[in-house]
């Protein structure tokens, strides 16, 4: 199931979200590869809706 990482703090999470770029690392164990992904579903409405709750 879900949950928070050990040692997570709201302040640390906010600092990451305030950054201009966010690095997301996924380890699949299938070699060294990298990619750049651009998203566009961060409209004001999307962020407002998702900011109203925490999971």
Task: State pLDDT tens for residues 17-47.
Answer: 898 888 888 888 888 888 888 877 678 888 8
Residue 36 covered by a domain: yes
Is 50 exposed, middle or buried, given 0-12, 13-18 or 19+ CB atoms closer than 10 A? exposed
Residue 33 covered by a domain: yes
Domain count across the chain: 1
DSSP string for residues in 41-52: ---HHHHHHHHT
Closest C-alpha to 17, from 9, 27, 7, 6: 9
Local confidence band at 4 (pLDDT 50, 70, 90 cut-offs): confident
Residue 41 covered by a domain: yes
Residue 1 covered by a domain: no
Per-residue pLDDT at 6 exceeds 80: yes
Residue 34 covered by a domain: yes
Domain with 54 in it:
21-55
């Amino acid at each position: 199931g879900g949950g928070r990482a050990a040692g997570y703090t709201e302040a640390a999470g906010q600092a990451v979200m305030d950054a201009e770029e966010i690095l997301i690392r996924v380890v699949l164990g299938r070699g060294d590869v990298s990619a750049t992904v651009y998203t566009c579903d961060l409209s004001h409405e999307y962020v407002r809706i998702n900011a109203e709750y925490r999971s």
